[in-house]
């Protein structure tokens, strides 16, 4: 049993109890943390997503905090990040202010969302810069070798940009 203490003005000793993580949950969390690391996504975010992913029903804020043993702030920020990238959705139940969270139906769409926000902006930003560099290099009589490299770099940038744009247009699929 995991105990989470919650301080509110009315009830400064409120305590909630949760089941500790199962072996399977722990392993799935490890998996997501590892994959997230490749994409440069922080540990706590991956943990939250993994927990939701392995839960049959949508989970409340407190449950996420309690079972993972992380802070309120991390849960709040993590959910915001995941929601902003279309990776989780919240459900509101009438008669309660609490939201309940579950992963978005399509993992593909989720990854595309991540890609759009993490990678595309950098690629787009760089396009004019590379163009300028190539121009300056030929104007200023840089060596053929260097001009050639810069041109290839520019080509790569365009390709990556096209690829990303294409991925963004992909119809949703699982």
Partner DNA sequence: GCCTAAGTTCAATTTTAAATGAAAATTCGG
Partner DNA sequence: CCGAATTTTCATTTAAAATTGAACTTAGGC
User: Does residue 48 bind a second copy (CB under 8 A)?
Assistant: no
- Candidate list 80, 124, 156, 162; residue touching a second copy; CB under 8 A: 156
Q: Please work out the total of residues on this chain that contact DNA, with binding judged by CB under 7 A.
A: 31
Element (H, E) at 174: none
Give the Cα-Cα-Cα angle 102, 106, 112 (nearest 5 degrees).
Answer: 115
The reply on whether position 17 binds DNA by CB under 7 A is: no
6 binding a second copy? (CB under 8 A) = no
Contact string 69-98 vs DNA (x = CB under 7 A): xxxxxxxxx-xx-----------x-xxxxx
In terms of CB distance, is 11 or 174 closer to DNA?
A: 11
Residue 131 contact, options DNA, a second copy, none, Cβ 5-8 Å cut-off depending on partner type = none
Query: 40: left (phi > 0), else alpha (psi -120 to 50), else beta?
Result: left
Residue 96 binds which one of DNA, a second copy, none, with CB within 5 to 8 A depending on kind?
Answer: DNA
126 belongs to the binding site for a second copy (CB under 8 A) = yes
CB closer to DNA out of 8 and 140 = 8
* The only residue of 1, 3, 10, 38 in contact with DNA, by rule CB under 7 A: 10
Asked if 137 interacts with a second copy (CB under 8 A), we say yes
* Residue 125 vs residues 129, 151, 153: alpha-carbon distances, Å: 8, 17, 14
Residue 153 binds a second copy (CB under 8 A): yes
- Tell me how far apart the alpha carbons of residues 133 and 54 are, in angstroms, rounded to a whole number: 49
152 touches a second copy by CB under 8 A: yes
Contacts from 113-117 at CB under 8 Å and sequence distance 24+? 113/85, 113/86, 113/87, 114/39, 114/41, 114/85, 114/87, 115/164, 115/167, 115/168, 116/164, 116/168, 117/84, 117/85
Residues 6 or more apart in contact with residue 48 via CB below 8 angstroms? 64, 68, 75, 78, 79, 82, 88
For DNA, the binding residues (CB under 7 A) are 7-11, 40, 42-45, 60-62, 69-77, 79-80, 92, 94-99
């Amino acid at each position: 049993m995991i105990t989470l203490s919650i301080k509110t003005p009315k009830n400064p000793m409120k305590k909630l109890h949760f089941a500790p993580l199962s072996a399977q949950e722990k392993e799935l969390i490890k998996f997501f943390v590892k994959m997230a690391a490749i994409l440069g996504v922080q540990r706590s975010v991956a943990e939250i997503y993994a927990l939701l992913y392995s839960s049959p029903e949508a989970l409340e804020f407190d449950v996420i905090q309690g079972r993972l043993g992380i802070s309120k702030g991390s849960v709040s920020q993590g959910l915001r990040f995941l929601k902003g990238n279309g990776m989780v959705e919240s459900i509101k139940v009438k008669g309660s202010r609490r939201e309940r969270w579950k992963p978005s139906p399509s993992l593909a769409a989720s990854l595309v969302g991540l890609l759009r926000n993490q990678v595309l902006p950098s690629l787009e930003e760089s396009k004019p810069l590379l163009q300028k560099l190539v121009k300056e290099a030929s104007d200023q009589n840089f060596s053929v070798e260097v001009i050639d490299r810069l041109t290839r770099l520019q080509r790569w940038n365009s390709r990556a940009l096209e690829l990303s744009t294409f991925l963004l247009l992909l119809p949703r699929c699982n």
